Amino acid sequence: MRIDKFISEQKGISRSDTKAMIKRAEITVNGTVVKAADLKIDPQRDVVAVGGKPITYRKFMYIMLNKPDGVVCATRDGLSSTVLELLPEEFRRKGLFPAGRLDKDTEGFVFITDDGELAHKMLSPKNHVEKEYVVTLEAPAEEKYIDIFAAGMIIDGDEKCLPAQLILTDEPYVVRLILHEGKYHQVKRMMEAVGNRVTHLRRVRMGGIELDNTLASGESREITQDELSHLLDKQM
Marked catalytic residue, from 38, 46, 77, 103: 103
C-beta of 37 vs 198, nearer to ligand URA: 198
Query: Torsions phi, psi of 201, nearest 5?
Result: -135, 135
Shortest separation between residue 141's beta carbon and ligand URA, angstroms: 16
Shortest separation between residue 64's beta carbon and ligand URA, angstroms: 16
Inter-residue contact 131 to 203 (CB < 8 Å): yes
C-beta of 8 vs 186, nearer to ligand URA: 186
Strand partners, 29: 32, 48
Question: Got the DSSP string for 71-138?
Answer: -BSSS--SSS-BGGGGS-GGG--TT-EESS---TT-EEEEEEES-HHHHHHHH-GGG---EEEEEEES
C-beta of 34 vs 73, nearer to ligand URA: 73
Shortest separation between residue 107's beta carbon and ligand URA, angstroms: 9
Inter-residue contact 223 to 99 (CB < 8 Å): no
Cα–Cα dist 189/204, whole Å: 19
Shortest separation between residue 168's beta carbon and ligand URA, angstroms: 19
Point out which residues bind ligand URA (CB under 6 A): 102-103, 106, 185-188, 201
C-beta of 62 vs 133, nearer to ligand URA: 133
103 part of the active site: yes
Residue whose C-alpha is closest to residue 142's, from 202, 199, 198, 194: 194
Residue numbers annotated as active site: 103
